[in-house]
Amino acid sequence: MADRHVPIAHEADIVTARRQARELAIELGFDVLGQVRIATAVSELARNIIQYAGNGEITLSVAHDERRRGLALICSDQGPGIANLDLVLAGGISPVRGRGRGLTGARALLDEFRIETVPGRGTTIWGCKWLT
Ligand SMILES: Nc1ncnc2c1ncn2[C@@H]1O[C@H](COP(=O)(O)OP(=O)(O)O)[C@@H](O)[C@H]1O
Ligand SMILES: [Mg+2]
């Protein structure tokens, strides 16, 4: 299964990323709940790229370890970076009611989640959902 590179630059790309994620999840054999979890995480991360970085890229691929397969994602942008990342991940930042759940939500929906962000340089997020 080939990697899927989805450029993220316009609102419509969020839909494309979501669809690509769901398609790969189906190919890998995720059940409907797994498909929805992955697609939801990917669309939140794509939305953040549009909102805060302007543009970036999401790569979807097949993950392997010794005993299982999964869906891996890498979201990268060269935007401003995430200020107060610790506070954001602690759920402490929600400027508007009902918001501020994108990153913590995506982390909860996936099995692996890692953020590397550098002020003024950009953000890279690695995520993975294992098939169980
Ligand atoms: N790719 C990104 N680049 C820069 N800042 C980001 C990025 N993604 C998230 N952020 C910052 O982290 C905060 C929390 O993001 P999120 O959890 O998705 O909540 P929301 O987008 O609703 O504010 C955002 O308000 C923004 O300041
Ligand atoms: Mg968000």
- What pLDDT, in 10s, does the model give residues 1-46? 889 999 999 999 999 999 999 999 999 999 999 999 999 999 999 9
Return the ligand 1 atom nearest residue 95 CA.
Answer: 23
Q: Provide the pLDDT for residue 92.
A: 65
35 within ligand 1 shell (Cβ under 6 A): no
Closest CA to 81 of 50, 51, 112, 116: 116
- Does the beta carbon of 56 sit less than 6 angstroms from any atom of ligand 1? no
Kindly give the distance from the C-alpha atom of residue 81 to the centroid of ligand 2, in angstroms, as a whole number: 13
Q: What is the model's pTM?
A: 0.95
In short, whether 82's Cβ falls inside 6 Å of ligand 1 is: yes
Q: Is 46 exposed, middle or buried (0-12, 13-18, 19+ CB in 10 A)?
A: buried
The DSSP element (H or E) to which 115 belongs, if any, is strand 112-118
| Ligand 1 near 77 CB (within 6 A) | yes
- Does ligand 1 lie within 6 Å of residue 103's CB atom? yes
User: Rounded to an integer, what distance in angstroms lies between the CA atom of residue 125 and that of residue 58?
Assistant: 9
Classified by CATH at the fold level, domain 4-130 comes out as Heat Shock Protein 90 (3.30.565)
Q: Whose CA is nearest to atom 27 of ligand 1?
A: 82
What pLDDT, on a 0 to 100 scale, did the predictor assign at position 97? 59
